[in-house]
Structure 1
Amino acid sequence: MNKAIGVIDSGVGGLTVAYELMRQLPKEQLIYLGDTARCPYGPRVNDEVRTFTWEMVDFLMKKDIKMLIVACNTATAFTLNELKSNMSIPVIGVIKPGARAAINETKTNHIGVIGTEGTIRSNAYTKALNDIHAGLQVQSLACPSFVPMVEQGMLNGEQAEAMVTRSLYSLTQQEELDTLILGCTHYPLIKHTIQHVMGRDVAIISSSEETAREASTILEFRNLLYKGHNTPFHQFYSTGQMEVFATITEEIFKEFIDHFHSVTIEKAIL
């Protein structure tokens, strides 16, 4: 089916998911919307996250997408079930794929989760992990400074490492912890710094690859994969300034992407 996959995020972090979708599903067209003007979502109250998420969804549904991927952990935590219940197209979040990948990786059954305040407050990862494996020890930690750091383009260097070291100190003291879930799609952009701080014996899990695999499976099962030969035309939209958005995109894709548009999205009527 020659319709696009829609991807939404609170900012630039979901581009890590978009990259994996483009790598694993090279024939599929993507339409990405990052709400950089109102990022971060983590400190916001649940109803505000829900409203903002529906506004992004309404924008993409007008473009006749065939699948929606909520590439924001906070939005997934607070809106995924509602979106699935009210939409006629497949909807995928990033939490369950990340939980499955972490369970496959851990040897000690001691898993750490870092995320925004909203994601950690929701306990969505702990529930997703324990639904699959009740014997896990899960240590969750909110890292509110990470998303603003990434949105400002501070991806490495001494200042970034100092901030990550301070934020993750309590987790570095957990000797049995062998797996850490990056419970925010912004965090893979500072994965190397996080890995250095946590040590090489801790597996760092990003949900991006697993989410793309789930999307591929669902599209195939529902006979929605594009089987033609046209080159996909991807579109990237941002509600805020484009400079950092373009810089981060180039960092992820290792090439210049020129299909950028700055947009204003309409208020949702819920």
Structure 2
Amino acid sequence: MSTHQAIAILDSGVGGLTVAKEVMRQLPRERVLYFGDTARAPYGPRSKEEVALFTRQIVDYLLQFDPKMIVIACNTATAVAIEAIRTNVSVPVLGVITPGARAAIKQTKNGQIGVIGTEGTIRSGAYVTALRRISPGVKVVSLACPTLVPLVEKGMFRSEEASDVVCEALRPLRNETIDTLILGCTHYPFLADRIKRCMGEDVALISSADQTARDISTLLSHTGQLESSNEVPVHRFFCSGDPRTFQWIAQDWLNEQIHVTPVMWQVPKFI
């Protein structure tokens, strides 16, 4: 396998751009292929069967570009589909739940960790399992926040409305004694400032993006696949919904000009 192959990153929408940004920062020589399934976001309210099908569709699409690894930068898809994807592809497949859990265990001082995520992620219990696998005695408080992803997908993450919606969504956590909060959806770092304002300075926020990028770097180094070229990498972006909205959000978040290729699915889908 060549070191010049790209890292493929997929998400239900724009959330995985938080992971892509960290990969581009920590591994500036690597090429990124990014797919956002914006036409069918959010994945959180959908059934396991739907999420598994959609994830497999995107992986199959990205495999045509011969990537050196697949990164499922969607917590819901990681919880539901990662093991099946690993079984059926020949390249490494990384998710975002274990890295986030590991970072939270390192951060907490009182052993009380909060997790916010989509309905699907929270319902799966994947973070509770991952956290207790590392530290069996940890206390975990989980909360589904289904109103947050639509704010980000609409590009409203800096609006005053976003502040109100975030504080209302997090209200059940305000009386908990957690000292660490996992942003268990890759969309949520877009709202990190507002989440921090609502939870207070004493609660550390954990985004899986940084640790996931570190895991990617470690794996590529171990397998001798780190990109060695000094050429400026050309990243490629694909989305299944409105490319204009995706492009605007991506350029704002990544702080660079990009081109987006729209992809229209030719297979039946649950809508």
What's the TM-score, normalizing by structure 2? 0.96
Aligned residue runs from structure 1 range 86-105, under 5 A: 86-105=88-107
Amino acid at match of 2:263: V
1:195 is paired with a residue of what secondary structure? helix
1:135 is paired with a residue of what secondary structure? coil
Displacement after TM superposition at 1:249 (Å) = 1.2
Aligned residues: 267
Distance in 2 between residues matched to 1:113 and 1:194, nearest whole Å: 12
Matching of residue 246 in structure 1 with residue 251 in structure 2: no
Distance in 2 between residues matched to 1:246 and 1:181, nearest whole Å: 27
1:194-250 deviation digits (Å, cap 9, x = unpaired): 000000110000000000000000011111111122221100111000222122212
Show the counterpart of 2:4.
Answer: 2
Distance in 1 between residues matched to 2:29 and 2:208, nearest whole Å: 21
1:174-197 deviation digits (Å, cap 9, x = unpaired): 1x2100000000000000000000
Distance in 1 between residues matched to 2:7 and 2:266, nearest whole Å: 21
Distance in 2 between residues matched to 1:221 and 1:99, nearest whole Å: 22
Distance in 2 between residues matched to 1:57 and 1:265, nearest whole Å: 13
Show the counterpart of 1:260.
Answer: 260
Distance in 2 between residues matched to 1:142 and 1:244, nearest whole Å: 26
Aligned residue runs from structure 1 range 41-190, under 5 A: 41-174=43-176, 176-190=177-191
Amino acid at match of 1:261: T
Moved more, 226-235 or 55-64: 226-235
1:13-48 deviation digits (Å, cap 9, x = unpaired): 000100000001111101000000000000000000
Displacement after TM superposition at 1:265 (Å) = 3.3
1:36 is paired with a residue of what secondary structure? coil
1:88-144 deviation digits (Å, cap 9, x = unpaired): 101000000000010110001000000000000000000000000001000000000
Distance in 1 between residues matched to 2:267 and 2:59, nearest whole Å: 11
Show the counterpart of 1:25.
Answer: 27
Distance in 1 between residues matched to 2:251 and 2:37, nearest whole Å: 18
- Listed as ranges, the gaps of 5+ residues in structure 1 are none
2:116 is paired with a residue of what secondary structure? strand
Displacement after TM superposition at 1:266 (Å) = 4.2
Q: Is the 8 A contact 1:120 1:140 kept in 2?
A: yes
Q: Is the 8 A contact 2:145 2:169 kept in 1?
A: yes
Q: Is the 8 A contact 1:114 1:142 kept in 2?
A: yes
Distance in 2 between residues matched to 1:36 and 1:183, nearest whole Å: 19
- Aligned-residue sequence identity (percent) comes to 50
Runs of 4+ in 1 over 2 A off after TM superposition: 265-268
